[in-house]
Structure 1
């Protein structure tokens, strides 16, 4: 009796699926190790941040969002190292520790509307979406915005909305926002973003220029619309670009 001629193809498919599962297991272990390293870093910055560890939702998001899918093939071997990586056009995907800290300090709850300035490859947006936020993300570099939009669709994120434009001016028609996160350094806190922040809301923004020390600043708007700011950490971000002041 002859063997069915489809078995070799089926066997190859089985082997291929096994290889994919093995690779995903490796990435899952790398994500777990990345989260453990972030937790260790947070011990050193606890006094500045007022947080000793990640909350369960944020830690869970970092363990589940496939960072290797948000970088190019050449950068995948380094995807779960705790450092920024190039994503083209002079831009980077932020260090996982910084993504974790910014997500944690926003204190966003499931269903909160969050504005992100600087989509990049959409990794930060994916982490926020996994925590449960309804994310509105703006990217000024059109090729990055287009590729991020395709990536978000491919990975199945339903609660991330994107647009191409100058993030300095925010997204007025979707405002107000429960929280705003800026992933590029500005020389000052943009007034349009302050205006679009809901009373009781929080904004995180790096302030400074490329050649001097930047500070991650927490902006809080109280119920009386009064603004309070606090410097948290020295950071290094690419500059916020555009035609704004």
Structure 2
């Protein structure tokens, strides 16, 4: 969710899954950007489980965040699922993939379009953590790395990068990296990006980075490492300071 905080537009959200990760991604999205979100679409094989989660979120939203977002379930077994999914993803500002999967959840063309798509979403993929598991189409990953026009890489002007929590782990432990034949230099860790976002002495590069983070096609692949917890904690403290909430314990 750290890169999600940096996004400029978060009106339409698609969520894969109905477990705890999906639930907390929706909760945090509503807590952080609830006033901007217009729609949340959940894709999950189990309709009862998905609707149970959406009912729970709706009750919490009514009591806490009071977002006017619509929430609905998209049934993968429905007769027009592929067309409905393509439409939903084409209009998505954020896509949260939180299910353990052994094949890509959607084809790359649903995100890339035919070269005429203007909306570029933020895609977070946290459901696969083994070499034989995969959520994202390798063609999507390759396209981002090879994007010399709209992509961003802090050290290579003629390439894009996949945002990750830990490069070494991603390289050997997830199907996206294995099947896309990613190299270490094709990935940039979120900690480095957070640092550059605030402290990069190259102003032109800093501006390009922020444009990419705010409105570019950003894919974040995470397997869950301690540095992510640390970065999340820092982000929470920054929000507390910005909103003047919480208590500071200097001798704790």
TM-score past 0.5 threshold: no
- Larger proportion of strand: 1
TM-score by length of 2: 0.39
Larger Rg, first or second structure (1 or 2): 1
Q: Which structure carries more relative contact order (alpha carbon 8 Å, separation 6+)? A: 2
